[in-house]
Structure 1
Amino acid sequence: MQKIVVVGAGQAGASLVAKLRSLGFDGEVTLIGAEPVLPYQRPPLSKAYLLGDMALERLYLRPESFYADNNITLRLGAEVTSIDRAAKTVQLAEGAIDYDALVLTTGSAPRHLPAAIGGALEGVHVVRGLADVDAMGPEFGDGKSVLIVGGGYIGLEAAAVAAKKGLKVTLVEMADRILQRVAAPETSDYFRALHQSHGVEILESVGLTRLTGDTRVSGAELSDGTTLEVDFVIVGVGITPGTDLAEAAGLEIDNGIKTDALGRTSDPAIWAAGDCASFPYRDGRLRLESVPNAIDQAECVAENLLGAEKTYVPQPWFWSDQYDVKLQIAGLNTGYDRIITRAGDKDGAMSFWYYQGDTLLAVDAANDPRAYMVGKRLIDGGKSPAPDLLADPATDLKSLLRA
């Protein structure tokens, strides 16, 4: 194998090409990205970068010199329009590039509000890429009113930034509670109280009927009949995996680009990793939207491209920063039927432990790094302390690792 082409220059793509070189691969490596900037971190976009606490250069995963020094060809601001699987080429506007192995790290795209309800009006923003955040940055003037649509982590992080910058913030969530899809009611309660303490108005079980305005958004009508005057809107209603290119090429799709346990798609010369890829997990399939997964899965695929035959086994962990609270999550809470709540050592520190029967599945740790680290080690090691023991405030968490 002499030519490896990677389509998608986000966290997964950048991690994969770096791993190939660190493993000693000396063939041609090309990394193609649609955005005209070096591969960069996404999590700080909606937090430190939007707040003005992080310069653009600090977003970059690696300096430009890294790619030159490692003989990695960067094709930035370049969109792949199609894949010819028979010819083993990818088509760009300026011509075709041939490959021996192709890796799709095409990430995901934010869901937009339909144009029919005002989603195309000026002043309606999503949070995904650098261009999105650069476009909304000038909107954050002190005293302005912003409507956040969606009570997931992206919406809550945007609400925290807006509140810290002195804006009047209203957040609407059509589900019964914020974070309903991803967290227990106890975690939702914790973050609802946190945001309300910073002046954010949270409206749950309330949907957006439509946005109003001529060319630019100026108001919103909600499902409970409320009308709001707004200066701008941030939409955080989820993402969809970047499967268009793969689907057009006839690859199998199953909640993302379908791969085997090694990361290979239905075409043995094409692989996938990151947000766009779904892989075998336990008795089903899983697609993870997280930086750690993008890195780990991409590095595993890099090893397998060179013949390692290594099964990808995820060790899921996530995080979210809101105000002065760092939420750290270990494990996957799917199927939980019991929550154990523990107060941490310092004010405001809490952890929420997810059990299915007597099996520990996951932990949400808010400003409680000890709980997070212990929980992660327990989950990674397949250990499940007795729920009653964990619920006892006298139990030393670290002692659970020795049990």
Structure 2
Amino acid sequence: MDTAISKIAHIFSECNFPVYIYLPGSSEFYQLISDHPEPKPAPANMIEHLNDESIFFQSFKKGDAYMYFYFLRLSMGDEKFVVMLNSDKDRTSLNCITFSMFNKLKEMEVTIQEELNEANESVQILRKSRQKMLKLLDGLVMPLFSITPEYNVLNVNKELSELINESHIPSILNKKCYEVIHGFSEPCSFCRMSEIVAGEEVSGQTIELDFGGKHYYFEHHMFPIYASTGEMDEIGEFMIDVTENYQNLEHIEKYKEKVKSIQMAEVDKMNEMGELKRAYKDLSKSYDDMFSKNNKMSKALSSLMENNNVNEIVKMRQETREVKNKLIRSATALKNFQTALDMQQDKYTELSKKTIYQLERLINTVNKKSMITDNDVKILLKTVTEDVKELRTTLKVPPPPESS
């Protein structure tokens, strides 16, 4: 408003008679002195003429002289102005002066109106842009909202309203964020408001929250929003759901522990197989000793038979039967050991194959997920892959078929 009055004052800067500006909307009254508007009380006897839009000229007689008043009525946007010129010159002279000034005022009015139209057009463009931006924010798949330094909610997007199960967005606004969003009675422990208000730079952080009976992991961010005056009057806040990432990390940790347990089981199996091999070796040696003894006894028996020593023959036959029984028992035990060894080896080999295939399917699934970008996840995947590779080499297990 002061800018518009200053422009009008500039036009009348060369006038050698009083010039006044009246604002009907606010009843403000100014006198232009040295190209500068100064507030003055409006003359009581002129209020009626100033407010009557049908009056453009008025004269008053004072003794033998006349006082002439000319009213120029202008509109600039939604605001109306009345320029009142006061002179004791005759009407014809005043008409010439005011006509020239009126033309300048009309030119100014056109110019100002064009500027207003351009400004209105810019406002419309900004409004449309803001509407598109609001639609874009509603389309984001992450909760986004803004609050005042007093924790009052100013704006929220659709994702946040769905997260807290409140479809009527206006019921969220102007309430304390920690109450309406998180259900707390005081500011959240993870809030960075004090740091932002103090002008400090804050980075993102990982927080854990519960909504609708479900546990979430969020990457939480807060940032200042400044007004056109340069003052911070708003704080933005958004949360990125990284729950799936954390669940995948937990699964990988569990399977890493499982791989370790399998490795320990393989070590135990190797030790058991070593013991079985040693037992087999001892049994085989015992069998060889008995077989050698049997051969000796057979030779001795043949020798006795040649000498017709019946008692010795009977005794040798008895010993032969005993040795034969021992040989049969030894052979049976040896066969049982061999069968148990084969079954145990098949059992551990099949279990190892099955576990390795399961681990590799998990690793393939995790590797295909675009959300897993954390360096820790890559290190864990690398560790699991190397462990499986080492396990394959040890067990001589062929690679699984390629997944489609």
TM above 0.5, yes or no, is no
How does the TM-score come out when normalised to structure 2?
A: 0.19
How does the TM-score come out when normalised to structure 1?
A: 0.19
Determine which structure has greater relative contact order: mean sequence separation of CA pairs < 8 Å that are 6+ residues apart, divided by chain length: 1
Larger Rg: 2
The answer to which structure has the higher strand fraction is 1
The answer to which structure has the higher helix fraction is 2
